[in-house]
Structure formats: C-alpha cells, structure tokens
Structure 1
C-alpha cells in the first residue's frame, strides 16, 4: 500500500498537518480523482481517518497504524539478521 509513490507522498504530507483533498491535489499535482482513490485505499487500510468540516473532508494520519506497519517491517529486518537462519536445499 505504501509502495505506491503517491500514497507514500500523501502519508508524508499528512504527517505534518490535516489536509483536505483540495490541498492534496495542489501539493501533489495529481488529479482530484487520483488523490481521492489513493485516500480511499489509505482509509480502508486504516492509515488515515477523516473529519467532515462543512462541505470539506479533512484527512489525518493515524500514527498508531503507521507505527504498527513500521514495527512489522522492523521485525522482518531483525529476522533477516539472525545467524540461525536456515537455507532450504534445492531439488
């Protein structure tokens, strides 16, 4: 999900402040439909949450969700450095 450069950029922007779609369109240079689709993916993944403000919807990063993703990859990195890692024989 964060391997997509646009979604990664949106997460970076939301780390600093809450933004609405119009801000994200301006800051990324992407089309509104493209930004909205990426926000939907991030919302369904639980990385961002919304807050309606008048006729706009503001998005904010859910830091605890991002911390869980970071912890998962940190664990994978640690597993990769274990000296007892095995190697399956071929054939």
Structure 2
C-alpha cells in the first residue's frame, strides 16, 4: 500500500504567510499549540486550522505527549518547492545573462 493521499498540496499550504511563519517557528523546535498561538495575534482555533492544513500537506506532524500535543516540522515535502524554484532560477539566470550581454555590447558601440 502507498502513502495516504494528502488533502492539501505543499504550494497551497505555504501560500499563507501565517503558515510560513509557523513552519519557521517549528524549524527551531517542536512546540505545543499554546506556544505557537502566543506568537500570533490569532485565536488558538485559527492556529489549529493552520496546523491542520500544514499537517494535511505533510509539512508538520503531531505527537501527543501526556495532555499536550506537540507539533514538529517535516521539511521533506518542501523539496518539491525547491525543485520548482530551481527551474525558474535557471530561467532568470539565463535571461539576466542575455540582458547583461546586450547592455555590455551596446556600451561597446
């Protein structure tokens, strides 16, 4: 059996600035929702919804420890974003090199 289908794709999950900030927070350490919520001017319910979207995209995992649920960054799905960005990085490098050549050749005239 394969992995279960994700409900949200990585691009959709990282489209929101709050979710990107949550990922940055979790990059430093695993955190419970109470600690994550303190970092935002949002309700705990709103943060919980963001965490569910990140979880559905495979970007965070949760572990119940006693009465507390701790969230942990799962960065592997971000590799897809990195691959996508590297394509466009190469594209723009090529375009900027062409522009540089054009400007330099125009200056020589």
TM range (shorter): 0.7 to 0.9
After TM superposition, the structure 1 stretch with the greater mean CA deviation from structure 2, 60-69 or 5-14, is: 60-69
Structure holding more helix per residue: 2
Look up the match of 1:59.
Answer: 71
SS in structure 2 opposite 1:33? Answer: helix
SS in structure 1 opposite 2:77? Answer: helix
Matched residues, number: 83
Q: How far apart, in 2, do the equivalents of 1:51 and 1:79 lie?
A: 41
TM-score normalised by structure 2 residue count: 0.67
Look up the match of 1:88.
Answer: none
1:2 deviates by 1.0
Q: How far apart, in 1, do the equivalents of 2:77 and 2:71 lie?
A: 14
**1:16 aligned to which of 17, 28, 31:** 28
**1:73 aligned to which of 58, 61, 85:** 85
TM-score normalised by structure 1 residue count: 0.78
Q: How far apart, in 2, do the equivalents of 1:52 and 1:72 lie?
A: 34
- Which segments of 5 or more consecutive residues in structure 2 lack a partner in the other structure? 1-12, 96-109
